Structure 1
Amino acid sequence: MRPLPPLAYVAYGLATSFHETGAKMQPVTEIGRGRGKSYGKPGKHGGQIPYGRGDVQLTWDGNYETADDQLGLNGALLANFDLALDTDISARVMVRGMTEGWFAGDKVERHKFARYLPAKGTATAPKFTSARRIINGIDRAEVVAGYAMSFQAALVAGAGREAPSLRTGGFVAVDRQLRHHLDAIGRDGRAYRHGDRPRAGGV
């Protein structure tokens, strides 16, 4: 059996999907489809527009190229960007991308889970806040950190009862037991802070 990923990684992955998909927790297309954004125009792959798709809102031609190459899709994703909406592919993009630092980096190293979050035990709110750089700079960093703290608490509360079902080597879908705990701590809309709503538009 494949070992489960670190608790803090799971919590932040769930929080990222929750935020980037507008709380749907499933692959979606970006609101506005890139209209008015630098990447929101026909690109070099058949004129497709590389607007946000999937759990992490994959954007830019370069990121689609990286995903296609690293996942061994042999050009299939580049021929059809909408494959990023496939649940399996979307999960793999999110898990591999956040683990390996596909989306961003600096002079020190790539922005990835291991740079910001503990491999064992729970993470603090400041660590989750810093982890936003993995996906989208510091945009809504504290909001996403708040979601991560809620998911982490739910995962801890559910330990030893019914383990969460983890999708395709990752951690995007939430099972019934986890949903029960999330409801208890404000999953259904009450976790939003200061009236802010999740919005699409990530990497």
Structure 2
Amino acid sequence: MLRACFSCLFVAIVSLSAMAADGDPKQKVEAIASEYAASFNKQDGAGIAALFAAGGIHVNPAGPRSDIAEFYQGAFKAGFDHEEITVDQAWPLGSDMALAIGAYRLAGKNQNGAPIETGGIWTATYVTEGGKLKIRLLSAMPQAAASEVGGRLMFDAPTTALLRAVLDEVCKSISGCEIGMRAHLASKILEAATKGEISTND
């Protein structure tokens, strides 16, 4: 038991060291977020799709989508033309993966010229593809899916199920002793989202 714990600790240290040597994961995720928002603000769905890994998926309470460019063309058609993205926390998952959480805000005008706006929390899993960090799974949880109960922000059942699906996807390929470290990081994302905590100060 003690040997297994030391082995897991060694894996965690090696993973963190590898990512640190290759650059701060938060800086890498922020660079992706910046490109993402810039493409959105240019209404460039293909540009957003290029930030996803092969087979990348965007998930919201309506369900998963792999046709990323087409999905965003629908958002542009609805009148959204501006996005702001913040990255609150990012964690390395080994030397070639990362996990992050943050917030987003979309704004624009509908067909009648009236202002429209929405926003919420996002979580994402990143993988290295072609030497670059890319989005494997992006989950967006609108604020409308959350409500305050007893002073605590709670997500509705579909959004909670969505978060659990995200965690399942993150952990799908994990084996051996790495399970403990990676599952712990993933569970922290679920816990933070459930409580409405999206910054290290919460």
TM-score (normalised: structure 2): 0.28
Higher Cα Rg, which structure: 2
Larger RCO (CA under 8 A, 6+ residues apart): 1
TM-score (normalised: structure 1): 0.28
Larger strand proportion of the pair: 2
